[in-house]
Amino acid sequence: MAEMKDIVLEYVREEYMEDEDEELNYDTPLISGGIVDSFSMVSLKRFLENKYNIQIPDEKATPEAFDTVNSIVALVQEYIK
């Protein structure tokens, strides 16, 4: 599943990072670190749902669950059958 991590990381970099040199790794805090605001999280959720053909219930799509690439991957894996 290393691959999924990198796909998510790449998406976050493309979609949210203003500055190419900014540090981003699997544990960088995205929401609490101010990289992704809770409003913009919607496009990330939609990306994951389309890419992996899953439905993440809104109540599971919390700022905590979306805070790092690692936690996002863990969440997505719960819904992949």
Partner 1 sequence: MAYSDRVRGVFGSQLDEIREKGLFKQERFIHSAQAADIEVEFPSGADVRKVINICANNYLGLSSHPDVVKAAHEGLDSRGYGMSSVRFICGTQDIHRQLENKMTEFLGTEDTILFPSCMDANAGVFEAVLTSDDVMISDRLVHASIIDGMRLCSAQHDTFKHSNVEHLEKKLQLHADKRLKLVINDGVYSMDGDAARLDEIAELCEKYDAMLFVDDSHASGFIGKTGRGTHEKCGVMGKVDIITTTFGKALGGASGGCVSGRKEIVEMCRQKARPYLFSNTIAPVVVSGVLKVLDILSASTERRDKLEANTAYWRKGLTEAGFVLKEGDTPIVPVMLFNAKLAQDFSRDLYEEGIYAIGFFFPVVPNGQARIRTQISAGHEINHLDKALDAFRKVGKKHGILGLSKGEIIDKYGL
Asked whether 80 and 52 are in contact (CB, 8 A), the reply is yes
Q: Which of 6, 10, 40, 51 binds partner 1 (CB under 8 A)?
A: 40
Q: How far is CA 52 from CA 13, 34, 67, 76, 81, in A?
A: 19, 26, 19, 8, 10
Our finding on whether 42 is near partner 1 (CB under 8 A) is yes
Our finding on whether 37 is near partner 1 (CB under 8 A) is yes
Q: Which of 13, 25, 33, 51 binds partner 1 (CB under 8 A)?
A: 33
Footprint on this chain of partner 1 (rule: CB under 8 A): 16, 18, 33-34, 37, 39-40, 42-43
